[in-house]
Amino acid sequence: MGKVLALDLGGTKIYSALVDNKGKIIREDIRPTMSDGGFSLVADRILDSLHKVVPEGEQPGGIGVAVPAYIDPKTDRIIFSPNLKWRNVDLKKKLEDALGLPVWLENDANLAALGEHRYGAGQDFNDMVYITVSTGVGGGLILGGRIYGGAFGGAGEFGHMIVDAHGPECSCENMGCLEGLASGCAIKRDAQQLVKSGKGRRMLSLAGSVEGIDARVVGKAAVDGDSEARAVLANAGRYLGIAIANVANLLNPGVFIIGGGVACGVGKLILDPACHEAYKRTYPPYRAFLKITLAALMSQSGILGAAAYAWDQLEKGTSSGI
């Protein structure tokens, strides 16, 4: 049945893999993105990485690519990617020209959702919502068994759901977005504020300085049992729970799957308060439907979603334009 190539392109690392049709990773390569070098240099690093995982004589069927970006569904151009600092670039053409293989791009959170749907915690659900909690907050929707992009391809943008109209300012200039309340950045800010107010000594001693405190430090202190660190995570979890309730009311999905580095790192310390709050905040008649679980594939949701996407496109016989 052959193999496909999968690429999970992040702001910090390039993850390439050769994957079979069961979702098994045969070979992989991980290297830093070095996005400061600009588009051409990153594209060259991607090509080096992809070459590394294709054995001599092997001809993969195509390449699925997960990109932290808004991609125009009509032109397949990457319209903007804050993490990669790209605007309006044509990665698809660049890779197809260099490799002579069909390339299919999709938003990384959508592909992480697809990965969980095909190979992870969402296998039994045709309608599922994937939420990633890492430095930021993002998400992807699988509705009726397929990625749902909406009319413009950008659906699933959870991070900027406003759950507290008068809440703190977010990076997008708005106030009270989920990302400003439940992301790794928000956890870092809340913990640093706590320490500046004279509390959170365990976190401070772990980090060495106020500035050294980030979501990872908070997570480590919390896992070690520090109640102040746990309270910071619980606060983030509660806001996540409100957003989950809103989407439960709006979409009635079969399951919510929570992934991303921060959520997977601390697990139930963020999931339990999120579940508790989501249950309380969901429209009462819908509470019985609520199902929330951690991602099963952890850091591989994206790469396996990219592989699944490539397999889907091959099966559909989608023309890639080459």
Pairing of strands 103-107, 128-133: unpaired
Minimum CB–partner distance for residue 236 and a copy of itself (Å): 13
Under DSSP, the state recorded for 169 is B
CB neighbour list of residue 201: distance below 8 Å, 6 or more residues apart: 195
For the range 135-139, what are the long-range contacts, defined as Cβ-Cβ under 8 Å and sequence gap of 24 or more? 135/183, 135/184, 135/185, 135/215, 135/261, 135/262, 136/171, 136/179, 136/183, 136/184, 136/185, 137/178, 137/179, 137/182, 137/183, 137/240, 137/260, 138/108, 138/109, 138/260, 139/109, 139/113
Residues of this chain that bind a copy of itself (CB under 8 A): 70, 79-80, 125-127, 141, 143-144, 148-167, 172-174, 176, 239, 242, 245-247, 249-254, 280-286, 289
Tell me the C-alpha distance between 294 and 133, whole Å: 11
Closer residue to a copy of itself, CB minimum distance, 64 or 176 = 176
Closer residue to a copy of itself, CB minimum distance, 39 or 148 = 148
Minimum CB–partner distance for residue 48 and a copy of itself (Å): 30
Minimum CB–partner distance for residue 289 and a copy of itself (Å): 5
Q: In a 3-state reduction of DSSP, which class is residue 108?
A: helix
Vertex 284, ends 278 and 290: CA angle to 5°? 45
Closer residue to a copy of itself, CB minimum distance, 2 or 80 = 80
User: Amino acid identity, residue 169?
Assistant: E
Closer residue to a copy of itself, CB minimum distance, 72 or 228 = 72
Total number of residues shown for the chain:
322
Closer residue to a copy of itself, CB minimum distance, 16 or 282 = 282
Q: CA Rg, the chain, in Å?
A: 20
Minimum CB–partner distance for residue 252 and a copy of itself (Å): 3
Minimum CB–partner distance for residue 174 and a copy of itself (Å): 6
Tell me the C-alpha distance between 172 and 50, whole Å: 34
Minimum CB–partner distance for residue 81 and a copy of itself (Å): 10
Closer residue to a copy of itself, CB minimum distance, 26 or 250 = 250
Minimum CB–partner distance for residue 258 and a copy of itself (Å): 16
Closer residue to a copy of itself, CB minimum distance, 243 or 308 = 243
